Structure 1
Amino acid sequence: MSENKNYQHPDIQDPENDELEIDWMDILRRIYAIRKTLYKAAGVGVVLGIIIALSIPKQYTVTVTLSPEMNGDKASSGLASLASSFLGGGASNSSNDALNVTLAPDIVASTPFVLELFNTRVQTLDGELDTTLVAYLDEQKTPWWGYIKAAPSLLIGALKSLIIETKDSVSTEINPFQLTKKEAAKVVKLKQAITANVDKKTAMTTITVTLQDSKVTAIVADSVVGKLQQYIIDYRIKKAKEDCAYLEELYKERQQEYYDAQSKYAHYFDTNRNIAFQSVRAEQERLQNDMNLAYQVYSQVAQQLQVARAKIQEEKPVFAVVEPATIPLEPSSSSKKIILIGIIFITICFTCAWQILGKPQWSKIKESFTKKTNT
């Protein structure tokens, strides 16, 4: 008689099936049995949630969206090309820029750019504080655990101030080459509060500023946009302005040379008008040629100067502000109700896990340890 190999004794259970089976009713009974403990845990969670929710300061976020036009190769209808064709010259306007729109995040996150924001005038929404941005950073609130975290460094700084003599006169100017610890910490804070992102497909630049006062946040966001625009404009027109300044000096020199040659010719012509010597006519012709040559050079430099002036305007990039900076009405940080509910939920889950799983295991460990010590 053949035995059924798939037959299994009822007292022997498959360990795999045993692992998969969960007695939910038993778990619910255990939870119901410790309901009073869970009520106490919920009360503790309410207290902790209120303390933590009230300790976290509100934060406001302002987002500005820009659409910059950063095309270095202008069409033939540009101002410089138009001026060049008008004046009879040929100007090629192809340029390879080392600065493009994708570098906006790196520019905003650079230390020199952040230091330029330090002296920005800001004002809180309630009007109680009207100061610079670097001074406002000292007025921002910090959670109480932040003071606990910073306590060791504050204690060390206090001890150093007692041991090392400090100078009475402190320089208010910031040296970008050598920042103090306070200045470096504020730079880091601003780098965390101000971010820029660029969509490489659409070239849309998004600048985000997060601070604790809504009006200050909007002011700083507007200042960041303005300084970023000016930074890129200054870079783009720097070469054109240098060329224009050089042509301005050259124009004045050639103008003076033409005026001198013209004056010499007029003076010689008036003095020797009625003299019929050949030498006089030869000198008069030479002076006239010098005057004409000086005028030609002067005229060419004047044309180049007009082209250079037009090129400055042409090289300026155009920024379309798609989403301007506005004072936010609601904070961007998590709601205090959400924080309170989250803390209560975490407290109840931790207590439940400890009572059902952790406490029995801990009791077994203690019993085994006690047996070993007794033996």
Structure 2
Amino acid sequence: MENENQKKGIDLFVFLQGIWEKRFFIIKSICVGLFLGILIAFSIPKQFQAEVKYLINDDLIAKREQGISIATLMGLNIKDICAIEIPKDMYPEFAKSTNVLSKLATRRVRLQEGQDITLFDYVINYQKEPWWNKILNLPATVKNWFADSDKVVVSDAEWNEHSLSLTQQRFINYLRENIQVETDENKAIGYVRVTAQNAVVAAEIANFVTQSLEKRITEIRHEKLEQELLLAQKMYENSEHEYQMMLERYETSVLKNRVESYSPVKLDIAFNLYNMLARQYEIMKVNADLSGKALEILQPAVASDIAISPHKKKIIIGLMFVLGCLSILWCLFKQAWEIDYKK
């Protein structure tokens, strides 16, 4: 046992001695990691993020629940017929729809003093890429040299949602990848975050997308509320017609001295129903007129000078650590192989 422990101690000492002998190789590997880290970290374009914080207004839904109370008591399930509550997980789909993003193409942004261009032009022509992307895209670039040059150029103003060009689809995909919509179910608070290489562009996109989202959801809620209002109006008019018909029959019975053949209790029931539906219809009309926006912007997006990426220190230190560990493992592997080869 003592001999085995002694051998293990000797082997460990031999490995440590081998690593110490290769210390210059390890230091060189760490320096290579430092060089590669600096090269990669400073080649990645900066990314800026803008955030809009909004409040989901549920007052319209509460008013709507009050407005259908009488109809529910009558056994009419309007809630399932005209549901106006939009699932919050559908908000990103509305915000990233082609209808919304295509309108961003013609919006003008100011990159710097005296340079005012459209967002479409910025995304297509002013985006920076790492140098290795040019190497990876070299085959496609060479192919374009020999492609037909008589192609029709589609400008950013010529948009057709049912037929997008490759350049327009690239613009839409870029926006979809860099737009993030989140909602907090407990607090009824949502966020629209946009990432771009320019802080002003990120804030411009975030504000516009939030405004478009608020407009679209408000329109959908109002459309559903109008459907409910039409249904309530139809119920009110039907009850009024029934009451008037019953009142005429009752008056006819009174004139013919046959009141006992027609009970006034039915007339009272019809009048009470007509009266309730009339009041409920008026309440729903008032609620429809007073209904506000679906979303209230709590904090608009502002341009920030602080970039969220790349994390240069993490990239540099990470590459130095990885190459340093790989060099140590290589030395151990090589030394173990030499020992086994000698045996």
TM category (shorter chain) comes to 0.5 to 0.7
2:165 is the alignment partner of 1:180: yes
Give the direction of change, closer, same or farther, for the CA distance of 1:22–1:61 in structure 2 (3 Å limit): farther
Of 131, 137, 154, the match for 1:150 = 137
Which residue number in structure 2 is paired with residue 247 of structure 1? none
Give the direction of change, closer, same or farther, for the CA distance of 1:242–1:334 in structure 2 (3 Å limit): same
Of 184, 204, 210, the match for 1:225 = 210
Which residue number in structure 2 is paired with residue 354 of structure 1? 330
Which residue number in structure 2 is paired with residue 119 of structure 1? 106
C-alpha distance in 2 between matches for 1:42 and 1:145: 22
Which residue number in structure 1 is paired with residue 42 of structure 2? 54
Indicate if the aligned counterparts of 1:74 and 1:93 stay in contact, CA closer than 8 A: no
How big is the alpha-carbon RMSD for the aligned residues of Structure 1 and Structure 2? 3.9
Using the TM superposition, give the Cα deviation of residue 196 of structure 1 relative to its aligned residue in structure 2, in angstroms: 0.6
Look up the equivalent residue of 1:354 and give its one-letter code.
Answer: W
Give the direction of change, closer, same or farther, for the CA distance of 1:349–1:202 in structure 2 (3 Å limit): same
- Aligned pairs for 1:15-30 (under 5 A) are 25-30=13-18
Indicate if the aligned counterparts of 2:53 and 2:192 stay in contact, CA closer than 8 A: yes
Look up the equivalent residue of 2:176 and give its one-letter code.
Answer: K
Which residue number in structure 2 is paired with residue 129 of structure 1? 115
Q: Deviations over 1:174-230 (max 9, x none)?
A: 221122222212211111111111222333211111111112211211111111111
Give the direction of change, closer, same or farther, for the CA distance of 1:194–1:26 in structure 2 (3 Å limit): farther
C-alpha distance in 1 between matches for 2:282 and 2:30: 78
Look up the equivalent residue of 1:184 and give its one-letter code.
Answer: Q
Which residue number in structure 2 is paired with residue 202 of structure 1? 187
Which residue number in structure 2 is paired with residue 319 of structure 1? 295
Which residue number in structure 2 is paired with residue 336 of structure 1? 312
Indicate if the aligned counterparts of 1:68 and 1:101 stay in contact, CA closer than 8 A: no
Indicate if the aligned counterparts of 2:34 and 2:320 stay in contact, CA closer than 8 A: yes
C-alpha distance in 1 between matches for 2:287 and 2:176: 35
C-alpha distance in 2 between matches for 1:22 and 1:182: 66
- Aligned pairs for 1:81-92 (under 5 A) are none
Length-normalised TM-score, structure 2: 0.68
2:81 is the alignment partner of 1:105: no
Q: Deviations over 1:58-90 (max 9, x none)?
A: 111122221111355444999x99xxxxxxxxx
Give the direction of change, closer, same or farther, for the CA distance of 1:169–1:334 in structure 2 (3 Å limit): closer
Indicate if the aligned counterparts of 2:42 and 2:312 stay in contact, CA closer than 8 A: yes
Q: Deviations over 1:294-333 (max 9, x none)?
A: xxxxxxxxxxx99887555434334333333122231111
Q: Deviations over 1:335-371 (max 9, x none)?
A: 32332222222222222222222x3577799x79xxx
Total equivalences in the alignment: 281
Which structure 2 residue ranges, 5 or more long, are not aligned? 69-76, 230-280
C-alpha distance in 1 between matches for 2:153 and 2:293: 48
Which residue number in structure 2 is paired with residue 40 of structure 1? 28
Look up the equivalent residue of 1:223 and give its one-letter code.
Answer: F
